[in-house]
Amino acid sequence: MTSDTRIDVPRVLSDQQVRDFVENGYHIQPGLITPEELEELKKDTIDLARGKYPCDSLKPVDDAQNMSDREVLKNILCIHQPHHVSPVTLKYIKHPKVCGILSQITAAHLPPGSWDGSVKCMQSMLFVKPPGFQGQAWHQDEIYIPTRDRSLIGAWIAIDDATIQNGCLWVVPGSHKTGYLYPQKAHDNEEEFDFAPESYGFDESKEVPVEVKAGAVVFFNGYLLHRSRKNRSDIYRRVLVNHYMNAWSLLPWDIAEGERPANADRRAIVPVSGIDPYAWKGVKTPPKSVWLRTCKANRPPAPEAAPAVAAKS
C-alpha cells in the first residue's frame, strides 16, 4: 500500500447515530454479521484451538485423542492476536460494513474537516469465555493502547448472544468524554474477574449492561469505562473484538526502553479504510504467534501454576 492507495468502505450510519456515538462513547449495531459469517467465525475458533494454523503457541491437537470441539475450547478464556495466524480473523478485521461504521465514528470527535475516515487496526482478541470463566474488571482500553488523539475504538463482534448471565459487556455511558484516564489497582475478586487491574474513582451506579444478539457489533471508544462479569450460564460467550484507531495518529504502543514517546509508532497494523498516511514507513509483519489469556478458571493449581501472560487490554 502506498499513501495514495485508498480503501473504500460503505457508509452505514446516519449523521445522528454518529453524533450519538460521540456523546455516549458506544454504538450497538444489531445484525451486522450474518448467520453464515457467524458459522465461519465459530469454525475458525475451533480451527485455532485445534492448532490448525502454523503458530508458536497453539500446537496441533493430536487427532488420535478424539477430542470434541467442546473439549478443545474448554480451557480458553481468550486468544490475543489471532489475526497473526488466522486469515479468517484478518478477513473479519477488514469486514466492509464494520469498517464502514469505523470510517464514520473512529475520530468523529475531532473538529470538522480534520479527519477523512482513515482507520487502521492493531489488535484482535477472540474470547471463548466458557461457562464458569471470569470477566475483565473495569478498565479503559487507552490505558493499554495509547493513541495521540483519543481515537482508539473496539469493534466487539458477538458470535453468541451476550447476556447478563453469560458475561456481557457493561459500560458507563459518556465516561470517555473528558479524556480522563482513571487510576488502576489490583482487585480482590478473583472469582469474578481475571488478573487485569481495575480502574476506580468513578460512579459505578451509572453502568448499563450491553445485552446483544449474536451478529451484533458493539463499537466503543478507548476511554469508555467498561467491564464484563463471570460467565454464570452453561453456554459459551464467544466474541471477536478488534481494536482500531485513526490512521493519521501515530501508535506509541509497547514503547521500548530509550524510545521517545513523541515519535514512537508501532507499524504492525492493518489499514482498513481510507489511506495509510505513513505507508512510507512500511508495515511490520508480526510473528506467527498468539497469546493465551489466563484467569482463575483455566489456571492449573499451584505448584504447577504457569505464569500469567501479560494482557494487552
**Residue 136 neighbours by CB distance under 10 Å:** 25
313 binds ligand AKG per the rule CB under 6 A = yes
Q: Which residues contact 258 (CB under 8 A, 6 or more apart)?
A: none
Contact mark string toward ligand AKG, 155..174, x via CB under 6 A: --------------x-----
Q: What is the closest distance, in whole angstroms, from the C-beta atom of residue 4 to ligand AKG in the complex?
A: 33
Q: What is the closest distance, in whole angstroms, from the C-beta atom of residue 147 to ligand AKG in the complex?
A: 14
Grid cell in block for residue 63: 487427532
217 binds ligand AKG per the rule CB under 6 A = no
136 binds ligand AKG per the rule CB under 6 A = yes
**Residue 55 neighbours by CB distance under 10 Å:** 19
228 binds ligand AKG per the rule CB under 6 A = yes
82 binds ligand AKG per the rule CB under 6 A = no
**Do residues 34 and 305 lie in contact, with contact meaning Cβ atoms separated by under 8 Å?**
no
CA angle 180, 312, 83 (to 5 degrees): 125
Indicate if the alpha-carbon torsion angle 87, 89, 93, 98 is positive or negative: positive
Which residue in the set 25, 117, 130, 154 belongs to the binding site for ligand AKG (CB under 6 A)? Answer: 154
244 binds ligand AKG per the rule CB under 6 A = no
127 binds ligand AKG per the rule CB under 6 A = yes
Closer residue to ligand AKG, CB minimum distance, 226 or 299: 226
25 binds ligand AKG per the rule CB under 6 A = no
Q: Which of 171, 175, 159 is nearest to 125 (CA)?
A: 159
Closer residue to ligand AKG, CB minimum distance, 269 or 275: 269
239 binds ligand AKG per the rule CB under 6 A = yes
Mark 69-98 as b/e (b = at least 16 C-beta within 10 Å): eeebbbbbbbbbbbbbbbebbbebbbbeeb
**Do residues 217 and 156 lie in contact, with contact meaning Cβ atoms separated by under 8 Å?**
yes
Q: Which residues contact 14 (CB under 8 A, 6 or more apart)?
A: none
Q: Which residue has the closest beta carbon to ligand AKG?
A: 228
Closer residue to ligand AKG, CB minimum distance, 199 or 249: 199
Closer residue to ligand AKG, CB minimum distance, 44 or 141: 141
Which residue in the set 72, 105, 141, 236 belongs to the binding site for ligand AKG (CB under 6 A)? Answer: 141
Cα Rg for the chain, rounded, in angstroms? Answer: 19
What whole-number distance in Å separates Cα of residue 179 and Cα of residue 125?
A: 24
CA angle 41, 102, 230 (to 5 degrees): 50
The window from 14-22, 135-143, 178-186, 280-288 that contacts ligand AKG (CB under 6 A) reads 135-143
Closer residue to ligand AKG, CB minimum distance, 42 or 52: 42
Residue 92's H or E segment, with its range, is helix 87-93
223 binds ligand AKG per the rule CB under 6 A = no
Closer residue to ligand AKG, CB minimum distance, 6 or 266: 266
Q: What is the closest distance, in whole angstroms, from the C-beta atom of residue 67 to ligand AKG in the complex?
A: 25
Where along the sequence are the contacts to ligand AKG (CB under 6 A)? 127, 135-136, 141, 154, 169, 226, 228, 239, 241, 313
